[in-house]
A and B are shown apart, each in its own frame.
Chain A
Amino acid sequence: MTDDDARGSRRGFLSTLGATAATGGLAALAGCATLSDGSRSEQVTFHASELPAVDDHPVVALGATYPITIPGSHRRDAQTRANDALEDIPTPLGNRRVPNGHVREHLTDAVTEARDDLDDALRAPTARETLQSLRSARARARYASVGWAAIEDDLTVAALDDEATDVTDRAADARDAMAYVGTDPAPAVVVHASRERLLDAAASVSEDVSHDDVRVLHVAEFGEHVERARASLADATTVGERFRDAQPDDAGSLRPTIETARDRLREELESALADLPDEDAASTVTGADIADTRTERLLYEFHYEATGGDPASSRYGPASGVLDAVRQLAAIRAYRAVRERVASGTRYEVTDAAAVRDAYATAHEALRAAPRRSDAPGLARVALQYAAGHVRFADERLAELSGEVDARDVDGAYEQYVVQGGIAAATPVAVGTALDALDAN
């Protein structure tokens, strides 16, 4: 799964949360299990109609972009590929064709989701998000068509092995040959970080499936993995070619520049992290009596965002490392800022619905403003995808509420608005730091 796939789409974001939960990270995301639930905070209720007006498909007005035009033929090829797969399936799949209701439900859901993804692709605000939706459409459509072929033609996982090997071999070759061509480092980081992740997604086809005990669904899921790899490779190739075409003929490789910047940012992060409180003191602020309050939880979450992961050490490559560094620099700056505010007397409590509305508005405005306040808006947009995904998820949780609402029901959303909004507000400065590192070569 690529960065966009994980952080841009709703399904992708939910999958990311699932994966995080699997590695034990969700507890930290949601606040440490050993921390309180804000039990000292006063119990507050209000009506859902007083909450921010988010609909079922809230849009965070922020979309990652590429500094290039994606040819229409590439998008049409992806749409055709997904539609062709869908046409292989005799829908609707009734209980005569597929008597097993569990299998039928999975295949039918995949068809529905592929169609939704195709619709999303048409509505996507940026070409980059269109490609992301089309990758998902291709993968879900292939799941259904391969599942149907496993029923009709006894298609097996082994029969897909050659295709999988072909894709992964070509992706590995492309990754080894990545030239990091470019003249302007900021757009080059945006493009090449995306290519790093797309090629990583294409270079291996996971044999891990959730339905290892249902043959048809096992084959379907493997087919989905193969198709996602194919789609990722196709996008990486097209994006790389278009970006190269947009460069002057004498454009060389920026790899040394990007690697040096990544290393400088790592040093800067390590220095900044050394000055932060450790985990035990994450939510302790001298003179602030915040034990067992939401404010305490928030500080802990800010600390988690600021200290998680190895600084600027993305396994995908140096360009992704620079992007990760921007995110982490922003998180550290946001954490410091909120600690200062707490020390000055600010408390983060859901005292009424207005507190949620304010946090919602502040987060959305910070996400909207961060790119235009940055010296490299494209870099800021990509760096903000993680924060935007969290805010979108919080919007969806609020949209599900109705009637009388206990403040505890909006804790998660409120916290994400404050935390991710704070990180968004700090992103322009973090982008500036990254640009300095890129220009210092």
Chain B
Amino acid sequence: MSPSRRALLSAATAATTSVALAGCSGTGSSESDVESSPEAVDGGLGDPPPYAYLRVDTDLAAVWRSRDDQSRREARRHPRPLVVDSQSRADDLAYADVDGADAVREFVADTDFDAETVYVDQREVQSCYRLELCGASWTSTDIDLEYSRVGLAYDVPCEADVEVIEARFLRLPDALSHEDVTSMGSSTGTGGCPDDHAPVAGSERPGHDGGTTTEVESA
């Protein structure tokens, strides 16, 4: 994506949001250089893009903006999604010192911010559960995720009534601007996603159901 794509996207947002929305609906935007999220299937969102994953078993955040005034503990108390649209914002991120953090850092660093954006979604989960990312959609102003909660296998150690943090780093194939993205939301169902979309880097996902642990790239 050339630098003009981000400018085009901003311009499209400022001038006419409907153009961007039309583009993102997947119905065609040949006049616009705005890419779209995958088309929704069966009323849900499209498949998520490649993403990295961190799970932190402490009462602190998995990722936080190191130059923010808020501490890591505050980031945990008030987890907010982050739109990382530049190398400098990527450099600004700090990560929990856990297995998989280096792979996540590398995943973020390898992003081409001229053509791509990293969307960081961090949330609390009961420790005997994990979230699965079922779908994602985005426009120049909105980002929506769809999760499903699944229980961990009986042989995965965890404590009832304790919460952990899970963070996902989605590499969106569009150059968005953090200033333009004003709506970030998600929904969470239960029972698992129709299709598994495993992370491509980061922490191991704790095993679901049959007691197996899904391995992911941790390099």
Contact = CB atoms under 8 A, between A and B. Distances in A.
Interface of A: 95, 98-105, 150-151, 211-217
Interface string B121-139: 0000011110000000000
B74 interface: no
Closest 3 CB pairs of A and B: A214-B151, A102-B128, A99-B157
Interface residues of B, number: 23
Interface in B119-167: 126-129, 148-160, 162
Contact of B151 (A95, A150, A215): A215
9 contacts: A98-B155, A100-B128, A102-B128, A102-B151, A102-B158, A104-B160, A105-B160, A213-B190, A213-B192
B217 interface: no
B210 interface: yes
Contact of A101 (B153, B160, B190, B191): B160
B81 to A, nearest CB: 24
Contacts of B154: 98-100, 103, 150-151, 215-216
B99 interface: no
A213 B150 contact: yes
A212 B191 contact: yes
B106 interface: no
A101 B158 contact: yes
Contacts of B152: 100, 102, 214
A215 B140 CA distance: 40
Nearest to B128: A102
Nearest to B130: A213
Interface in B169-219: 190-192, 209-210
A214 B191 CA distance: 8
B30 to A, nearest CB: 42
A125 to B, nearest CB: 36
A5 B153 CA distance: 32
B157 A102 contact: no
Contacts of B157: 95, 99-101
B128 A103 contact: yes
B158 A100 contact: yes
Contact of B209 (A101, A102, A151, A215): A215
B116 to A, nearest CB: 32
B150 A100 contact: no
A63 B209 CA distance: 44
Contacts of A216: 154
A104 B127 CA distance: 13
Count chain B CB atoms within 10 A of each CB in A101, A105, A150 and give the residue with the most: A101
B210 A212 contact: no
A408 B128 CA distance: 38
A144 to B, nearest CB: 13
Contact of A213 (B151, B155, B159, B210): B151
A102 B191 contact: no
Given A101-B128, A102-B126, A211 B159 contact: no
A100 B153 contact: yes
Contacts of B127: 101
A190 B124 CA distance: 52
Contacts of A105: 160
Contacts of A217: 151
Contacts of A98: 154-155
